[in-house]
Structure 1
Amino acid sequence: MIGLQVIRRSRVEKSDGKNAYWCVVSGSDIWLVDGQIPYGTAQQWQLPSRHAILVDHYQNSPVYWLNAADVEQDHPLSSLRELLSVDQALFLAASKAVQYGYMSHTLRFCPQCGGRNYLNHQELAMQCHDCRTLHYPRIFPCIIVAVRKSQQILLAQHPRHRNGMYTVIAGFVEVGETLEQCVAREVLEETGIEVTNIRYFGSQPWAFPSSMMMAFLADYHCGELKPDYSELSDANWFELDKLPPVAPSGTIARALIEQTLADIRHEITATNKDKKNPPVKEGVSKMSL
């Protein structure tokens, strides 16, 4: 309820003339100026503040969402992915705007009775005009996992990655499935191997279009690597000095890869240190007998 109360107190009409971040969105695309979210007043950017909805704050400035359809001027739109390099807090705020825009576009009619939905500004949800049912933004749970085998990391390439990029394994959680079960299933289905020592790493909202990525680390257990070519174009084990192009910075996939590589480097360093400084063997001196 705290978040909803903040939204109710923060209607954009009270912020006319104040500097803010303005997220004008359409689908998963957003209006950027020189690669940045427009910052300033609504008047400065000639934006209809009456349609703007507060979604977050960044560095004490409000972040507003506007649907591109409510803006008279045609602004060039860019993929939200172009903001991956900005501060994470601002990227997440922009992601909220994109996800609310996706909600308003895909939930125009009530799934329960077929009535027309409208945006409930207080709840930040779509509400049916007829049966009054509230429909909140849909969030699709996904797992993403980095698998390690000794001093190698498992990386895969998808057909949609036209730049040759490799990344870690990911997939949607099925009904009645735990996150750990999903990790094991996705890795087995896509690569033919089994994993063990599954452990939680972190999460990232992923507005493409509306997913929650829950990240894990895992260790190879058994099986022969056999990529599912209906899902992947390649999958292989890679060593530290033979890495292909990988997921960009700002993604939790990249964070998983960097963590796994750091763990491998740490293990190599510790092993080399032990070789240089072998433990002194204890024995019994004849002089003490």
Structure 2
Amino acid sequence: MSKQFGWWFFTCGEQILVIAQGERLPYGDIDDLPLPALEFSRVEQFASYKGEPCLRLELEHPQDLGMGEWVDLRSSMSLLNSQLFNLVGKAQQFALFLKTHQFCGCCGHAMTRVDWELAMLCSACGFRAYPRVSPCIIVLISHGSQLLLANHRRHQKQAQPMYTAIAGFVEAGETLEQTVHRETHEETGLKLKNLRYWKSQPWAFPHSLMAAYFAEYADGELKIDRRELADAQWFEANDLPHLPPLGTVARDMIEHWLAQTSL
């Protein structure tokens, strides 16, 4: 079998090429795809999907490849299944890592790619760098038949403002559970009880790993940190606002809570 056979991830910065049929990503031998001349010496296998290689090729410009269209990572969420979406995120995080680690952060010397793992090595001082992963938490807070949902400032200018769960990054020296309590209190003034971990999701914006929790209201009055949130309210289960898109862990949490609440 050709070394250039598999699932093709043509990327350009935050964009990915998707096609109209099948799994929405090109698949097959490179010689059978209707492509113009490209520099295929830069093709890299970075994962596998359904037992076949995932092949990444980063382009300098989102050029016309004779098939499909270029979409950004967020838009691809609605076009790809969750596994492929995560693989697209992985491909883009690899590209970002290679772009931002060309020089050593310790001595400034040029770094070279390690050929047995995804890492960059400084031949001058020996420092080795790996792709950055930024842990963060997201927590869905309930109080009886109500959910606490927030409109984050980055979403406030949307035509239909989106409301979602409370989220934030883990600080140095914190456990995930400490982060949940701190972020909730900082952004809403509330205290929590019955905190329970649910699941995680890689989130390539640009290199996060989301740890999802459910929790219940314990005490406090809602006091919004306007630096982080445009709004936060308690919503009844049968009267929810515009929610995050399907495929996000936030939406999965809300749908799971609704299913459990309706029992």
Length-normalised TM-score, structure 1: 0.81
- The number of residue pairs the alignment matches comes to 251
Residue 30 of structure 2: aligned partner: 42
Given candidates 73, 79, 84, the residue that maps to 2:77 is: 84
SS of residue matched to 1:237: strand
Q: Is 1:190 aligned with 2:187?
A: yes
Q: Is 1:209 aligned with 2:206?
A: yes
SS of residue matched to 1:233: strand
SS of residue matched to 1:258: helix
Hey, what's the Cα distance between the residues in 2 that align with 1:48 and 1:33? Answer: 21
Q: Is 1:225 aligned with 2:219?
A: no
Q: Is 1:61 aligned with 2:58?
A: no
Hey, what's the Cα distance between the residues in 1 that align with 2:163 and 2:10? Answer: 31
Hey, what's the Cα distance between the residues in 1 that align with 2:93 and 2:172? Answer: 22
| Residue 132 of structure 1, CA deviation | 3.6
Hey, what's the Cα distance between the residues in 2 that align with 1:72 and 1:231? Answer: 34
Q: How does 1:140-155 map to 2 (within 5 A)?
A: 140-155=134-149
SS of residue matched to 1:200: strand
Q: 1:42 corresponds to which letter in structure 2?
A: I
Hey, what's the Cα distance between the residues in 2 that align with 1:72 and 1:168? Answer: 34
Percent identity over paired residues: 42
Q: Is 1:118 aligned with 2:104?
A: no
Q: Which runs of 5+ in 1 are unaligned?
A: 1-12, 267-289
C-alpha spacing 1:23/1:132, structure 2 compared with 1 (3 Å): farther
**Greater percentage in helix:** 1
Superposition CA RMSD, Å: 2.1
Given candidates 236, 239, 242, the residue that maps to 1:239 is: 236
Cα contact 2:200–2:210 (8 A) shared by 1 = yes
Larger radius of gyration: 1
Residue 18 of structure 2: aligned partner: 32
| Residue 14 of structure 1, CA deviation | 5.0
Q: 1:80 corresponds to which letter in structure 2?
A: L
Residue 176 of structure 2: aligned partner: 179
Length-normalised TM-score, structure 2: 0.88
Q: 1:183 corresponds to which letter in structure 2?
A: V
Q: Which runs of 5+ in 2 are unaligned?
A: none
Deviation string, structure 1 residues 96-136 (Cα, Å, up to 9, x no partner): 11110110111121111111123323211222243342211
C-alpha spacing 1:48/1:61, structure 2 compared with 1 (3 Å): farther
| Residue 37 of structure 1, CA deviation | 2.4
Q: Which runs of 4+ in 1 moved over 6 A?
A: none
**Greater percentage in strand:** 2
Cα contact 2:135–2:208 (8 A) shared by 1 = yes
| Residue 229 of structure 1, CA deviation | 1.2
Q: 1:216 corresponds to which letter in structure 2?
A: Y
